[in-house]
Structure 1
């Protein structure tokens, strides 16, 4: 086996040791101090029966209001009870109350926020409506009602506080989820067939843990203040049982003459609240900031809105769906909802791919190639939906499947190689872990069997040191290695169809050749069909048997690759071929097509290419151009295709 030079330049298989969370926190002085204080305080409180010098209820009327001394380190109160002992036992009540409130807040707020942000739609609308209603309820009034109803129960009050605090958490988690769900590795997880629950828990939740930690720490401080306030008012745990708020209430009666008594509980509450906040900040910083891709949008399920009989369809789209094709698409039309209204971005696209065949989808950026591929997977960005079309795959119309059904096909029967392999890998997990979760999702393997299969897959894609690579994190991989890992993940469940979206764009020439060779070999071994989305004619010539050329959301030409290269029948195809660097002549400038692909709202009438076409006439803008078939299997959307043929002959 030979390994291309770029692969050998990858990082060493010996992964550097990653600093633990505790180490990263301890490097921050304030965080370390706050964590130390909090740990010591919690430990002392829970060990109160062992470390408290006196019974918290024991009275010594001979020593009332005694100041700090060796006998009573923090003095005594108005009944001669030891302040330190009462402080330790009172902390148990306070921390239990905080645990109730924070636990309820997280158990409700985090799942609902994830669901609203990731699933969206009706679930998002219902959850937001409920949170708005709860946020309108005054907290103190609700707490007073609960306390009076449940007999001054501290547990009931703190559970209610958690319920009242959950809507704020829902909003924070929802906002963070909406940002993170745009990342490619989240889309990749859905492509691999992971369920909504698995995607949220494994890939979304770790990524948004920073805001959740900060919210929980701040809420813990607020809960402690609320519990102390209720105890100060005599609501909740009653005297003589010690509570921090109750100790402040008792000390406030004698504040003018004996001010020291209020210092220990007041200072303890203040330091604990401060420690909660500082520890939360340190945990957030130790995990790193939450970031999201700026260009990817959340996927949403596709919707079929029926047919539109007013469209003039070409011969390709009117042809019956072949029962022998792996994938057969007809009349695919995709609309997007924008602030300016609905825009059609892909219109009336149709093609077929046979088993073991590679079909190239070619065109400039903005022509609708990637949107077409994502529509087939049910992974359109937010605002996009399939409004018309039929897509037969293994006897099923993908456009009419529910979210769960198409989710079961993704990853198992349909694979995807993304444009940016590094971005499609979750930085929180090793690559072996990410491939293993696909295997365990679809094949119900044990951990040991999945680990062995991961190494086998990495060896199948000709990865050097597959065992070592499986233990690496995405940032430790070179571009070529990341692409091979992406291919391994796509092939984990042995799909029948592979959608390769610009699989070699970010790679150098040597690695490109290796990846294409690898795809050809795997296709020969498995017989899978490949839809290759690219703008590189060299890749098309090397890999594809047929080419489909798209421009401004339409198929403008399709035929066998050799025919397209030798006899293009559309000026756009001809212009792309002439501007291909692979055919450049030394000493001559490389021809280029004037202008750019228009945005959907600026599509011209008639032929959409005519403003950039040197063969354009008034007829080109007069009306819709049908898809013509000048020869068997060769289709073009150009009324001057014969003139183009004669022009090519004269050249």
Structure 2
């Protein structure tokens, strides 16, 4: 109803809705009011010209053509809607199949892409021959001919929503694909699908009239507009209105459906076409295996309180010139109650590492590792109900954009309660009470009232705290916070960081904090992992960041202004550009930007080696950086002028 009210507020929408309402009212009441008169045969008025009694004349049996056009509205509209229902149903099945079937659904995607390439009318004629003459066969023919385009739109919309953070959060919560589809994806694509179904009804109406016109649709004694056009064609030179009137009716009804759909699309900001890109099917190479004892920074036998163990993690995607590895051999481990930070520039592989741990890398991406274990469970062993329950109850993921972290069509309380109902067997009332309690735990005031609100009614900081509360619905052993403060102001950022630290202190939860802000990581973390070009280049204690040995880490630290920074001078930056993962150079990836780089750096890639206080991958670790020539100080008064 809200969508309809928004549509009728525009001139185009109001006119379209009025026109559609008139067509539908005619379809309902015309057979009741004029059905007997339209079927009455008058041999004294055969092929009568237009007159006051018969405004557009009569047919070969003396029946009033105008009344027959009005009465035919019902059958024409009903058959068009039935064909649209077939197209939507079959299209929806084909549209959701790739998501539900995963890699096995690629064949469905290819089939839809091929079917869309054929003209709809040609497909309709093909199916009409198969199903036979009559309105039943024509309904199936037009419905199946329209299904591929609807399926393609459905696939595109589902793919877009499936990549959103709230869907990833539901999957991390252990919710199965079918439940995610019906609870989180389809409600968010419903409006554009309904709009395109409305437009499709207009096309089905025209197609049905065409099949009836050539004798493949409605058969006597029934009649629709296409049948009336065919009957009127024989006397078009004597009484043109006999053929034109049903044609005009088809145009008016088709416009009513199409304009209503277009008005809705404009109001909702939707397009009426969609494009699906084919996925490359290149299988990246397997990661090179190394003995466990040789992996730097990882114990061969993990400690009893180890929460996460990552050895030689690699993430690869197909590329035009071969596999691309944005994450190349990452290894680290985490223990209970430990806060580990990952820092680096955009594109360094921080978020992909987190997504790989949370099992959110989809095909065509490939995740490989010598070992990837969470609470002792091998995450690469395959998708099982036990593993989904483990992730749903013991792993929480906090995304960087609070606005996309929740399903906009569901209330906050219901979203938080979903994991508890799914994994803990709680009733709806119990799960809701638990959700309210968790909102209170993350310091959201009036939690009971807030639980009944939608995400857009929360501020950015409240949404981020609610996302943390969603992770606390179970008993998480690990919270992965992927730049949780990026979109927030500094005061809210401080509250979020304090909340994460208080959770660690109260529950012993390990936290993996991903950030590009070195100062944030230094404030809250115990350990810091510095990533560059998909690798960890330095691993050190947070309280020893000032003693960093890698030139890249020192450049990141130098780029953070403090109270002693001379405001008259330009801010420090890391020179050059980050490495393109598709074209990682030989040797050290940072060599092109490093002031200490030599010929060895450009040919041999250094491994992580132990140093006092941590590990570093650099041939010149700890060496003094060359002193840069001082840039002239800025004259602030001159700048302001």
Fold shared, TM-score > 0.5 on shorter chain: yes
The verdict on how the C-alpha distance between 1:162 and 1:620 changes in structure 2, with shifts beyond 3 A counting, is: same
Bigger drift between 319-328 and 77-86 goes to 77-86
Match in the other structure for 1:170: 151
- Distance (Å, rounded) in 2 between the aligned partners of 1:253 and 1:596: 75
1:229 aligns with 2:213: no
DSSP-derived class of the 1:205 partner:
helix
Match in the other structure for 1:534: 515
Task: Answer yes or no: is the 8 Å Cα contact 2:112–2:152 preserved in 1.
Answer: no
Match in the other structure for 1:571: 551
Match in the other structure for 1:392: 373
The verdict on how the C-alpha distance between 1:216 and 1:637 changes in structure 2, with shifts beyond 3 A counting, is: same
Task: Answer yes or no: is the 8 Å Cα contact 2:343–2:350 preserved in 1.
Answer: yes
DSSP-derived class of the 1:399 partner:
coil
The verdict on how the C-alpha distance between 1:454 and 1:303 changes in structure 2, with shifts beyond 3 A counting, is: farther
- Distance (Å, rounded) in 2 between the aligned partners of 1:161 and 1:604: 56
DSSP-derived class of the 2:396 partner:
strand
Bigger drift between 430-439 and 36-45 goes to 430-439
- Distance (Å, rounded) in 2 between the aligned partners of 1:614 and 1:312: 33
Match in the other structure for 2:92: 110
- TM-fit CA distance, 1:393: 0.7
Match in the other structure for 1:80: 62
- TM-fit CA distance, 1:278: 0.8
DSSP-derived class of the 1:346 partner:
strand
- Distance (Å, rounded) in 2 between the aligned partners of 1:410 and 1:111: 29
The verdict on how the C-alpha distance between 1:560 and 1:132 changes in structure 2, with shifts beyond 3 A counting, is: same
Match in the other structure for 1:20: 2
1:316 aligns with 2:300: no
- Distance (Å, rounded) in 2 between the aligned partners of 1:335 and 1:490: 28
- TM-fit CA distance, 1:272: 0.8
- Distance (Å, rounded) in 2 between the aligned partners of 1:574 and 1:263: 81
Q: What do you get for the CA RMSD once the two structures are aligned? A: 3.7
1:103-146 CA distance string (max 9 Å, x none): 11111112312433786644123442365268559335424423
Instruction: Choose from 122, 126, 140 the match for 1:142.
Output: 126
1:73-97 CA distance string (max 9 Å, x none): 7664332334455335433332332
DSSP-derived class of the 2:531 partner:
strand
- TM-fit CA distance, 1:59: 1.9
Instruction: Choose from 486, 492, 497 the match for 1:516.
Output: 497
Gaps (5+ residues) in structure 2? 273-277, 628-641
Match in the other structure for 1:419: 400
Instruction: Choose from 6, 13, 17 the match for 1:31.
Output: 13
- Distance (Å, rounded) in 1 between the aligned partners of 2:246 and 2:256: 15
DSSP-derived class of the 1:229 partner:
helix
The verdict on how the C-alpha distance between 1:117 and 1:284 changes in structure 2, with shifts beyond 3 A counting, is: farther
- Distance (Å, rounded) in 2 between the aligned partners of 1:608 and 1:268: 69
- TM-fit CA distance, 1:422: 1.2
Task: Answer yes or no: is the 8 Å Cα contact 1:303–1:386 preserved in 2.
Answer: no
DSSP-derived class of the 1:128 partner:
helix
DSSP-derived class of the 1:341 partner:
coil
Task: Answer yes or no: is the 8 Å Cα contact 2:103–2:363 preserved in 1.
Answer: no
Match in the other structure for 1:493: 474
- TM-fit CA distance, 1:314: 4.4
Task: Answer yes or no: is the 8 Å Cα contact 1:213–1:283 preserved in 2.
Answer: no
- Distance (Å, rounded) in 2 between the aligned partners of 1:513 and 1:364: 22
1:173-228 CA distance string (max 9 Å, x none): 33344444444444344334433233334444344446534543343223223322
Equivalent residues in 2 for 1:256-405, closer than 5 Å: 256-289=237-270, 305=286, 307-309=288-290, 313-317=294-298, 319-380=300-361, 383-402=364-383
The verdict on how the C-alpha distance between 1:566 and 1:37 changes in structure 2, with shifts beyond 3 A counting, is: closer
Equivalent residues in 2 for 1:41-52, closer than 5 Å: 41-48=23-30, 50-52=32-34
Match in the other structure for 2:630: none
- TM-fit CA distance, 1:577: 3.4
- TM-fit CA distance, 1:164: 2.2
Match in the other structure for 1:12: none
Match in the other structure for 1:581: 561
Bigger drift between 172-181 and 453-462 goes to 172-181
- TM-fit CA distance, 1:530: 0.8
- Distance (Å, rounded) in 2 between the aligned partners of 1:583 and 1:390: 44
- Distance (Å, rounded) in 2 between the aligned partners of 1:279 and 1:612: 57
1:398-424 CA distance string (max 9 Å, x none): 123238766555443221111111133
Match in the other structure for 2:631: none
- TM-fit CA distance, 1:480: 1.6
The verdict on how the C-alpha distance between 1:281 and 1:442 changes in structure 2, with shifts beyond 3 A counting, is: farther
- Distance (Å, rounded) in 2 between the aligned partners of 1:108 and 1:339: 34
Task: Answer yes or no: is the 8 Å Cα contact 2:400–2:486 preserved in 1.
Answer: yes
Tell me which of the two structures has the higher relative contact order, counting C-alpha pairs closer than 8 angstroms and 6 or more residues apart.
1
Task: Answer yes or no: is the 8 Å Cα contact 1:146–1:157 preserved in 2.
Answer: no
